[in-house]
Amino acid sequence: MYQYDAFDHEILQKRIEEFKSQVKRRLSGELSEEEFKPLRLMNGVYLQLHAYMLRIAIPYGTFSSDQMRKFAHIARKYDRGYGHFTTRQNIQYNWPRLTDIPTILEELAEVELHAIQTSGNCIRNTTADQLAGVAKHEIADPRGYAEIIRQWSTFHPEFTYLPRKFKIAITGDTHDRAAIRFHDIGLEIVKNKSQEIGFKVLVGGGLGRTPIIGTVIKEFLPEKHLLSYLEAILRAYNLDGRRDNKYKARIKILVQETGIETYRTTVEQEWKEILKEGRTDLPLNAQIRILEHFTLPKYSHKGVTSYNFSDFYAADSDFARWINHNMHDHKIENYAAVTISLKPLKGIPGDISAEQMDGIASLADLCSLGEIRATHEQNLVFPHVFKDDLPALWRDLEKIGLATANHGLISDIIACPGLDYCALANARSIPIAQEIAQRFDDPERMEEIGELKIKVSGCINACAHHHVGHIGILGVDKKGVEAYQLMLGGSADEKASIGKITGASFDAEEIIDAVEATVDLYLTLRQDNERFIDTYNRVGMAPFKEVLYG
Amino acid sequence: MTIAIPKRPLRRRVKKEKKNYNLALTANHLFSGKVVYFTGSGWANLLHDAALSLDGDSLISQAQNYIKNESFVGLELIKIDKLYNQLIPLTTKEKIRLSGPSIIYN
């Protein structure tokens, strides 16, 4: 994992001092709310329905057991004993007092955490594949490049006031777990014919009120030119992106309005100028110094044959179910990565208590070399587990209520905080997710249904990525009353697609029935155990509309 | 296999007549972010204590005297209904703001 150097610590301390002074001036009345709002947003502080919300960055979703312990401490001391993992690999607290936030940030800085780039019209925290570095078929670990982007983009003077927020995602695997096609910039690590590492660069993807699949702007960008090319994209956007209408200000609108060819030409011209200046791309030694933080750790059981795991797998069907759904192949033989589902029955997707955080931290030290990942699907991952440790890990996770065997299944639902917390929401998301999970709370039925991704957003801003759910649900407001639109056929992976609305919206009770009817129809229509999304792609919307609306 | 077919949503008839709802002024406390309501002579945590008026401008103008250093933020007028002598916000959003998240953690 990346370790801060003296410069990182220094800029973080300066930022905290600056924000401490801004809060003090606001509380004394020296700053108006209008003046203060953009400043607090630059530090991850939102005002929600009931309280402030503080969003903390987890760069590329990788964090340590000590950082998890700090999250637990913050939850206990300054919040209400829990935190919420978001769909951008961050964590947020729903109840901090403004007066406590500077102190919270000081405490976070002790473990190299902060709230920078979690809000505002800047380059946000870069997200990455949660299996980065350990995925079996990965070309290269994307986190080193994400760290390079973090260092380049943090407080970049040219990109602090962009037309709108700007999100970058990166993966090193051809199987896209990071939804790169739905980001302002998506980066896929690829190799050219000479086996040199570089990036396929996609631009102008996004969700929200205008969902668009990103377009390839460069098939192969040499590794050494990552920053100069990103800078060219950002510079072209910063110059030409619309500032007259916030709903038209994202880069996706610019790319659609100008056309990808014109935009590419503009970017290439900018890039040439930047390359002439010759000061943006990292010198090779600096790049190597950062990438070295992300080499594989020393696995003490490397080469050891695993017996305990397979014996236990055969003997315990609950354990076997958990393994089947939550375990992932690993680069190193007899090691595995494991998803820890934050979607227990009746739980709140992404929420985790301080006690569970402490439990996870201890287990990470015991079984995952002290490393944890946050996923954009609101789960956690232990990336380095020796297979013989899996039975004990599973039992210990059960003790803290986190051994749910549902990764990728119908109850592994993404849900935004919705109208229960969010000032922007039109309808509640969490109770809908809970009701659906409860409706399908039968392990055998869930297994029969197979992979099915449901995503529930409380408003058009699409924090839960409803457009790319196999089944997506969007909360809308109908004269002050909650209603829900149903969408089918979305996908966030390498076969990206945007879901289509089935028809008229449903009320809160009807939407659960509508999901069940949709799933039941899929089970009658599917062939050869195909997934829901494959059946939908084969048969189209018509039979689903028929069963839903008659 | 039988397929559960949900009832088609009923088309609700839109009421044409306009009702003049009482208005209350709500905000969040600057220090804590807590929800507060304007009482006519200050701010309270309970909607029950809120000053009601059909004239929103008048409520806002009264409240100006009670916003020292802008220590209450996000001012908003909300529609209030009365049921069995209880004050009830008209929208789901304001109901949730009043009583907290509808889901309880743990």
pLDDT tens readout for residues A331-348: 998 999 999 999 999 999
**Nearest residue, CB atoms, A51 vs list B8, B34, B69:** B34
Between B4 and A356, whose confidence is greater?
A356
pLDDT score, position A302? 73
Q: How far apart (Å, rounded) are the C-alpha atoms in residues A371 and A338? A: 12
Q: How far apart (Å, rounded) are the C-alpha atoms in residues A501 and A44? A: 33
Does A79 contact chain B (CB < 8 Å)?
Answer: no
pLDDT at A73 over 50: yes
pLDDT at A397 over 90: yes
pLDDT score, position B69? 65
Residues in chain B: 106
Chain B nearest CA to A56, separation (Å): 18
Q: Write out the E strands in A341-427.
A: 351-353, 371-374, 380-386, 414-415
Which of B1, B73, B91, B103 to substitute to test the interface with A, most A CBs within 10 Å? B103
DSSP single-letter state for residue A516: H
pLDDT at B1 over 70: no
Chain B nearest CA to A539, separation (Å): 17
Strands A454-457 and A414-415: parallel
Rg over alpha carbons for chain B, rounded to the nearest Å, is: 18
Question: Considering only CA atoms, which of A101, A145, A91, A152 is closest in space to residue A122?
Answer: A152
**A173 Cα distance to chain centroid:** 16
* A474-503 mean pLDDT: 95
* B97-101 mean pLDDT: 95
Residue ranges of A 415-454 with Cβ closer than 8 A to chain B: 419-421, 423, 425-428, 430-431, 434
Q: How far apart (Å, rounded) are the C-alpha atoms in residues A205 and A184? A: 5
In this prediction, residue B105 has a pLDDT band, given cuts at 50, 70 and 90, of low
* A68-77 mean pLDDT: 98
pLDDT at B9 over 60: no
**Nearest residue, CB atoms, B8 vs list A50, A481, A550:** A550
Tell me the pLDDT of chain A averaged across its residues: 96
Q: What percent of chain A has pLDDT over 90?
A: 93
- Which helix (H) or strand (E) element contains residue A76? helix A65-78
In this prediction, residue B18 has a pLDDT band, given cuts at 50, 70 and 90, of low
Tell me the angle at which helices A430-439 and A508-525 cross, rounded to the nearest 10 degrees: 40
* Residues of A in Cβ contact (< 8 Å) with B78: none
Q: Write out the E strands in A316-436.
A: 327-328, 335-340, 351-353, 371-374, 380-386, 414-415
* A284-292 mean pLDDT: 94
Q: Convert the pLDDT of each residue in A427-483 to its tens digit.
A: 999 999 999 999 999 999 999 999 999 999 999 999 999 999 999 999 999 887 899
Contact assignment for A421 to B101 by CB distance below 8 Å: yes
Between B68 and A3, whose confidence is greater?
A3
> A537 with A500: CB under 8 angstroms?
no
Residues 6+ apart with CB under 8 A from B84: none
pLDDT at B19 over 80: no
Strand partners, A119: none
- Which helix (H) or strand (E) element contains residue A218? strand A215-222
Closest residue on chain B to A52 (Cα)? B33
Q: How far apart (Å, rounded) are the C-alpha atoms in residues A514 and A520? A: 10
Chain A nearest CA to B34, separation (Å): 5
pLDDT at A14 over 70: yes
Contact assignment for B101 to A517 by CB distance below 8 Å: no
pLDDT score, position A143? 97
Q: Which of A200-214, A256-270, A528-542, B12-26 is the least confident region?
A: B12-26
How does A417-438 read in b/e, with b if 16+ C-beta sit within 10 Å? bbbbbbebbbbbbbbbbbebbe
Between B91 and A474, whose confidence is greater?
A474
pLDDT score, position A496? 98
Closest residue on chain B to A523 (Cα)? B1
- Both tokens of A199, joined, read 């990036």
> A56 with A112: CB under 8 angstroms?
no
pLDDT at B14 over 80: no
Contact assignment for A51 to B7 by CB distance below 8 Å: no
In this prediction, residue B17 has a pLDDT band, given cuts at 50, 70 and 90, of low
* Residues of B in Cβ contact (< 8 Å) with A482: 92
* A208-228 mean pLDDT: 97
Give the ranges where A278-353 is alpha helix by DSSP (H).
284-291, 308-315, 317-326
Burial of residue A450, with CB atoms counted within 10 A of its CB: 0-12 exposed, 13-18 middle, 19 or more buried = middle
Q: Convert the pLDDT of each residue in A237-259 to its tens digit.
A: 999 999 999 999 999 999 999 99
Give the ranges where A225-349 is alpha helix by DSSP (H).
226-240, 251-258, 260-277, 284-291, 308-315, 317-326
pLDDT score, position A155? 92
Chain A nearest CA to B10, separation (Å): 9
Would you state the torsion angle of the CA atoms of residues A119, A120, A121, A123, taken in this order, to the nearest 10 degrees?
A: -30
* Residues of A in Cβ contact (< 8 Å) with B74: 47, 423
Q: Convert the pLDDT of each residue in A127-141 to its tens digit.
A: 999 999 999 999 999
Q: What percent of chain A has pLDDT over 70?
A: 99
* A268-290 mean pLDDT: 93
* Residues of A in Cβ contact (< 8 Å) with B7: 510
> B87 with B47: CB under 8 angstroms?
yes
Sign of the dihedral defined by the CA atoms of residues A273, A277, A279, A281, in that order: positive
Strand partners, A488: A471, A500
- Both tokens of A293, joined, read 């933080």
Question: Considering only CA atoms, which of A192, A65, A180 is closest in space to residue A129?
Answer: A180
pLDDT score, position A308? 76
pLDDT at B11 over 50: no
